[in-house]
Structure 1
Amino acid sequence: MEEALEDYKIYDISHVESDLLEPLGTKSKFWYSSDGEEFLFKSVESSNGIRLGEDWAEKIACELATLLGLPHAHYELAIYKGKRGVITKNFISERGEQLMLGNELLETFISSEDDNNPNIQYVDDVYQIMVNTVINKPIGFSSLKEIKTASEFFVGYLMFDALISNQDRHNENWGTINTVKGIKHLAPSYDHGASLARNISDEIRNIRLTTKDRGQEVSQFVLKAKSWFLNRETNSRIKLLDAFNEYALMEREAAKSWLKILRELDDDKIHLLISRVPEELMSPVAKDFTFKLIQCNKLNLLALSSNL
């Protein structure tokens, strides 16, 4: 039986002064310093309007990644001058380390006819990059059984994407950290705010939770989630489950190890970490829907074990 815990703290950082505007993406975000360390604040507000739910989606994903032992940037709920968001400590820890994003790593794989598509990425190309270029596991994270290299950890990232319906693993949302000695390590997983169907309304969530129409059920809804990996023949986005399965067939032992970790993850622990989101940020129906979404994705992922 799950034991009730306190809600996650919402850190008020209204007193900080921003050091540097973050140029990537559409969200309102900035770096600031605290006790000699760098932090990034990401608001739910953006140039396209308010993206409510990105804060709790990021926090839930962070806590779920912790349970799985998946390398990830750590996020806390935050508020800055009335704006909701999250804060995360810079995972570039050493002076001179550099983050190289996936789009840079993919340049040698992109043909001239693909130049007009900045989001181009194929599963097998990324596999080759992980095996031949990145090679090393994320800095500061321990090896797991059958999971020791960059590629073996990255297949876990794709499992995680399918688990949380993260449709935003485009080629700037993964990368490598280059050390001062020139050694490359897979960067931890980061930027999961566009996951857990955080953008649908509570009305739609309630319909999907209570409907008698099988086509409207959560179990069918999650099957629609798409990755940012493309099909080579059609250049259309493939499903999250297909992206994981395609990569898993090239990293069978690591994929089986990740699925074993997922199988052993207790549903009560998942329910508990969702319940700790403050109710002013996330409604009860949103919590129920999110738990059901993760449960359905977990079952779909475990069903792929027979392919490996």
Structure 2
Amino acid sequence: MDFTNIIKENPSYRAYGGANGIKKGILLENEPYMLKIEHRDKKNNRYKNSVFSEYIGSKIYSILGIPVQEVILGKLYDNEKEKLCVACKDFKEKGEYLYEFINIKNSILNENSSNGSGTELKEILEAIDEQNFCNPIEVKQRFWEMFIVDSYLGNFDRHNGNWGFLVNEITGNKRIAPIYDCGSCLFPMAEDEKLKIFLNSKEEMEMRVFKFPNSAIKENEKKINYFEFLISTTNEECLNSLKKIVPKIKEKTEIIENFIDSIEELSEIRKKFYKKILNMRKELILEPALERAKNMEKINQKRKIVKKLKEEELEL
């Protein structure tokens, strides 16, 4: 979609914060959207690929059936130059406010806690249990589903400031916000020449599976490595989410690959890299983690059976 005239003629007069790019508020068919536009930072790095990351990451969440903000890929002309952009629908309904998790966590801190921006996993899970905005069970389920899909997408920047709750201060209704801010997925800083190098090297590709990117969430002040965490965790909610989400990813892989192939603005090398890295992260991180989760479930079931039989023997 060409947003050149829309950005001039239909501003929404809403302002948006955050890093990674120029953001403009627009109205599209009387609905508010945030337009993220490619730009160059002070180091002359181009954020064109973060537009692709935002668009593709959001669409993959949608394909997997997880609530996510609507996105539209587009372009605009600025100073006689064509720029790529992505329109992200403002999902707040009338009377709703977005309370990012950083603010929720900040409101229930105790003297032993870090500040709201602290991303220690233990503190995040404790804050989810203590908050009274939304059902903690549902929030944890969304948190772990988001963590697992982010591990698939290679998201290195899912922090406390880019997920949260929507609160209607008129009606008092509260709900978990759709997923938003996926611009740090899929290695946005790598240009096509770099992708060619990666694709021609098994070692380079495996580094981008097993070594980095890491999650922004931490354990013991160290950023979590997705592979190491998912292959070793005993967190029951995380294991349950693995058993729910990974089969969906496997089922939808062909749809995801066809979607990537359908994006005309992507170079062929970028299409090839996206499909390859997603497949590797699925096969080398998520599928082994799923098998382990299933095996743990079988072991626990056997233990329960043995325990029950022993209890019955004692009764006899």
Shift in Å, 1:174: 0.8
Once residues 200 and 41 of structure 2 are traced to their aligned partners in structure 1, the CA distance between those partners, rounded to angstroms, is 35
Q: Distance in 1 between matches of 2:135 and 2:40?
A: 35
Q: Report the CA distance between 1:131 and its aligned residue.
A: 4.1
1:182 aligns with 2:167: no
Equivalent residue letter for 1:230: K
Shift of 1:305: 1.4
Do the aligned residues in 2 keep the contact of 1:14 with 1:79 (CA within 8 Å)?
no
1:126 is aligned to 124
2:253 equivalent to 1:288: no
Q: Report which of the two has the higher share of helix.
A: 2
Equivalent pair of 2:141/2:237 in contact (CA under 8 Å): no
Residue deviations 1:30-62 (CA, integer Å, cap 9, x gap): 212233321111112265453121111112112
Shift of 1:197: 0.9
Higher relative contact order (CA 8 A, sep 6+): 1
Structure 1 residue 269 corresponds to structure 2 residue 262? no
1:141: which partner in 2? none
Query: 1:24 corresponds to which letter in structure 2?
Result: G
The residue that corresponds to 2:303 in the other structure is none
Give a deviation string over 1:224-261, Cα, whole Å, max 9, x none.
111111122xx121223456665953343333112222
Structure 2 regions of 5+ residues with no counterpart?
Answer: 294-316
Equivalents in 2 of 1:131, 1:247: separation in Å? 18
| Distance in structure 2 (CA, Å) of the matches to 1:202 and 1:290 | 11
| Correspondence for 1:78 among 53, 56, 74 | 74
Query: Which structure 2 residues correspond to residues 1-308 of structure 1 after superposition, within 5 A?
Result: 9=1, 11-12=3-4, 13-18=6-11, 19-45=13-39, 47-48=41-42, 49=44, 50-82=46-78, 83-93=83-93, 95-107=94-106, 108-109=108-109, 111=111, 114-115=114-115, 119-133=117-131, 134-136=133-135, 149-180=138-169, 181-211=171-201, 214-216=202-204, 218-223=205-210, 224-232=212-220, 235-242=221-228, 246=233, 249-265=236-252, 267-279=253-265, 282-299=266-283, 300-308=285-293
Give the letter for the 1:259 counterpart: V
1:159 Cα deviation after fit: 0.9
Residues 171-195 of structure 1, C-alpha deviations (whole Å, 9 max, x = no match): 1111111123334322111111121
- Decide which structure has the larger Cα Rg and report it: 2
Shift of 1:110: 6.7
TM-score between the two structures when normalised by the length of structure 2: 0.78
Q: Percent identity?
A: 19
Residues 241 and 127 (structure 1), Cα distance of their counterparts in 2 relative to 1, 3 Å cut: farther
SS for the counterpart of 1:176 is strand
1:90 and 1:136, CA in 2 relative to 1: closer, same or farther beyond 3 A? farther
Gaps of 5+ in 1: 1-8, 138-147
- TM-score, structure 1 length as denominator? 0.80
CA gap 1:174/1:236 in 2 versus in 1, 3 angstroms: same
d(CA) in 2 for partners of 1:97, 1:109: 24
- For 2:301, the equivalent position in structure 1 comes to none
Describe the superposition over 1:59-101 as per-residue Cα deviations: whole angstroms up to 9, x where unpaired: 21122112110111111112233332110111102x2211111
- After TM superposition, the structure 1 stretch with the greater mean CA deviation from structure 2, 180-189 or 287-296, is 180-189
Change (3 A) 1:110 1:302: farther
Q: Secondary structure at the match of 1:124?
A: helix
Answer whether contact 2:122 2:219 (CA < 8 A) is retained. Answer: no
CA contact (8 A) 1:274 1:287 kept: yes
